[in-house]
Amino acid sequence: MKLLVTGGAGFIGSNFISYMLSVYNDCEIICLDKLTYAGSLDNLSDALDRTNFKFVKGDICDKETVCDIFDREHPDAVVNFAAESHVDRSIESPDVFIKTNILGAGILLDACLGFGCTRFHQISTDEVYGDLPLDCADLSFSEDYPLHPSSPYSSSKAGADLLVLSYYKTYGLNVTISRCGNNYGFHQHTEKLIPKTIENALRDKPIPIYGAGLNVRDWIHVLDHCRAIDVILKKGRAGEVYNVGARNRVRNIDLVKYILKELGKSDSLINFVTDRKGHDRLYAVDPGKLERELSWKAEIEFEQGLRDTIEWYVQHL
């Protein structure tokens, strides 16, 4: 299979490319990435010298560039990781998120139709569902839960999801969507909670925590996410959405304290700051559909995966 992977120089995209190239000898990958602040060729160092990998610097919103790739490479499938993804940045500059996350997805979908690419997978987020009350530990989002996004980021991703599904219903394009919980692992940008906490702790700098740190997130190792995308690509039903989660619900404050303990640092580094506007309380997806229908299950135990991640950043920061 020849894959066009957009946003492949970012955190999850680069891990997916490394995973696919390590598992499949006959897989060809073309990576299209704009190389914004969140993407780096360093993340693709293991792939750049391989004959079955090509990198193209470009923007999914540039229709000419996208069409040129489709015309030249004729990919069998597209996996769209390309997105603006940081909630804080979306509050400051929502227009950038609307353009990349919705318009960019539309350009890719049109290219699939125009150049005969019959498979499209959209990387979405659990944030499109909104949030759950903190006192409802037994609740989680199923795939048919109403979309109720809270930020310009999650709203733009929800809009892209609806657009993707419309190309299945209107044009018959074989599309799937995965909505995943919070990822952690190697190569994540230090604007995100886990790498920011590690970086600041190593430098004995204050670690900003929104509100009282009681917000809960459902964490999954990025490699488990990559395995899920792989199985959805191969066996997912057209027009379906699949939640991807590992059932690791952790309060932000507890996560930060765990990292500080692993690094031998004091909790005094924690600095509580004014809460984010519209800050969602609890995200938790039910991955039961993916487990039942496609025989996928998260394999990496959270504490071990987190310790490995901490050690990686200690060596690379």
pLDDT at 32 over 90: yes
Q: Give the pLDDT score at 86.
A: 65
Cβ(57)–Cβ(33) under 8 Å? yes
pLDDT at 57 over 80: yes
pLDDT at 135 over 80: no
Mean per-residue pLDDT of the chain: 94
What mean pLDDT do residues 142-170 have?
A: 95
* pTM, 2 dp: 0.94
Distance separating alpha carbons of residues 195 and 8, to the nearest angstrom: 19
pLDDT at 250 over 80: yes
Confidence of residue 219 (pLDDT cuts 50, 70, 90): very high
**What is the tens place of the pLDDT at every residue in 270-279?**
999 997 776 7
**What is the tens place of the pLDDT at every residue in 260-295?**
999 999 999 999 999 777 677 888 899 999 999 999
Q: Give the pLDDT score at 81.
A: 97
Which residues are tagged catalytic? 126-127, 153
Sheet holding 216-221, edge to edge: 182-184, 216-221, 249-251
pLDDT at 118 over 70: yes
3-state secondary structure of 33: strand
